[in-house]
Amino acid sequence: MTDRVHLTLDRVAILELDHPPLNIVDRELLVALEAALAELDGAAPGDVRAVIVTGRGERAFSVGSDVREFEAHRASGGSERFEMEARVAQRLAGLPMPTIAAIEGNALGGGLELALCCDLRIASERARLGLPEVRLAVTPGTGGTQRLPRIVGIARAKELLLTGRVIDAAEAERIGLVNEVVPAGQAIARARAIGDEIAERGPLAVRAVKALVDAALDRSLADGHAAEVETSVRIFATDDLLEGARSFVEKRQPEYRGR
């Protein structure tokens, strides 16, 4: 990784954006983030069981793109940058293991869009969140108009997107934008606790559940149920399934290995 992104591999991996003070998303950060995501994508199920995504420092998870670069994007048409941002976001959203955004500071614009790519979001009470692009006469380009409605519903998403309003952590929790609000300074610790809890579960089953839920809104109920049955057959053929059943009968903690 470059200095812009730090990846610590473990059962609960830590992926940190490090572009102080606001963790602005520039090309160098995107290149490093894409490399880190490729490494995570290839991790064995038993090795990396959850990922915490966060931004270094207390001021911002990330505030997205540098507004000072907008004119340059306009001159070039911006397509290469937008396509790269979209590709990185899709890669984050498509990681096979669960991801948890630990939002200690502000998550705005492209920064919030990265958090929306994660499966869960934990916010510090001092965090502020929003997609204020229309206030600058631009549009979200990293999935905000697509992922936000899926998380908070169409009406809430339109309200936030059309006004560009920035909300506090308490309101974000009330509308379902974040899963939990914690005291200042505790977002990463709480995300780690959840990650540790996930890491104790069967990693193949966890990955399968994530894939099924991610595909649910794009399938009919019948097709989704059929996918569940197919997945259950596959998971029942694993060694982890045997370990889960035996540990339950023997009243001990299971030792899953992702096989």
Q: Is residue 34 flagged as an active site residue? A: no
pLDDT at 77 (0 to 100): 60
Contact 121, 99 (CB under 8 A): no
What tens digit of pLDDT does each residue of 16-44 get? 999 989 999 999 999 999 999 999 999 99
Cα 15 from Cα 12, distance rounded (Å): 10
Taking phi over 0 as left and psi of -120 to 50 as alpha, with beta for the rest, 77 belongs to left
- Among candidate residues 16, 85, 104, 113, the one labeled active-site is 113
Q: What does the pLDDT read at residue 227? A: 97
Cα dihedral value 98, 103, 109, 110, nearest 10: -40
| Lookup result for tokens 């984050």 | 92
pTM for the predicted model, two decimal places = 0.94
Of 194, 156, 196, 190, which is closest to residue 176 (Cα–Cα)? 156
Composition of the chain by helix, strand, coil, percent to 5: 50, 15, 35
| Locus of tokens 């974040």 | 178
Planar angle of CA 45, 48, 51, nearest 5 degrees: 125
- Residues of the chain with confidence (pLDDT) below 50: 1
Going along the chain from its start, the domains and CATH numbers come out as: 5-199 (3.90.226.10), 203-249 (1.10.12)
Active site residue 104: no
